[in-house]
């Protein structure tokens, strides 16, 4: 009888310990991941600057398990007519990929696309005259492409933009 109670007690202790270990994830993602993602995907210059800084130091954000992969401007030129759109496209990819992984892409797509357009317009603000007009027109074309075509690949490819 005593041996049976001891065996039950040991079994119960092992079960309790096992559940305790299983209940505590080894490396939980910080609870503010959604807020950080939102902060880095707004339309303002401060959001853009914060994302650029974080992107340069991705290791500091490894606990968040963000998807930093990018193909930049996809099948469009990264620097059309010499305009440096590559970083803006990388931030756009970041937004698409991470919101798709979070399952909240549809609710955030319009803002991510608008952020791309604002980022591109900030690039164009460096120029003047006809060069600025050309840059602005190119930025508008890039925005229209993601606005209209960004959904078309969603059903087939939820991991890329």
89 CB neighbour count, 10 Å cutoff: 24
Burial class of residue 21 in the structure, from the number of CB atoms within 10 Å of its CB (0-12 exposed, 13-18 middle, 19+ buried) = exposed
Inter-residue contact 81 to 147 (CB < 8 Å): no
Helix and strand counts by DSSP (H, E) for the chain: 6, 0
Separation of alpha carbons 136 and 142, rounded Å = 10
Q: Kindly tell me the sign of the dihedral angle through the C-alpha atoms of 109, 69, 136, 132.
A: positive
The residue assigned the tokens 């993601």 is 146
Q: Residues 48, 66, 85, 92: which is the catalytic one?
A: 92
Q: CA 34, CA 38: separation in Å to the nearest integer?
A: 6
Active site residue 17: no
Q: What is the largest CA-CA distance in the chain?
A: 94
The catalytic site residues sit at: 92
């Amino acid at each position: 009888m005593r041996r049976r109670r001891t065996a039950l007690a040991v079994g119960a202790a092992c079960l309790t310990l096992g559940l305790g270990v299983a209940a505590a994830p080894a490396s939980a993602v910080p609870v503010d991941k959604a807020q950080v993602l939102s902060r880095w995907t707004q339309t303002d210059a401060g959001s853009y600057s914060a994302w650029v800084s974080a992107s340069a130091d991705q290791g500091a954000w490894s606990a968040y398990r963000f998807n930093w992969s990018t193909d930049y401007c996809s099948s469009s030129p990264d620097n059309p007519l010499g305009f440096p759109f590559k970083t803006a496209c990388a931030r756009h990819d970041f937004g698409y990929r991470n919101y798709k992984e979070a399952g909240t892409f549809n609710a955030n797509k319009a803002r991510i696309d608008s952020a791309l357009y604002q980022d591109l317009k900030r690039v164009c603000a460096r120029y003047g005259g006809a060069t600025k007009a050309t840059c602005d027109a190119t930025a508008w074309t890039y925005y229209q492409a993601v606005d209209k075509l960004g959904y078309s690949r969603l059903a087939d490819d939820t991991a890329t933009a």
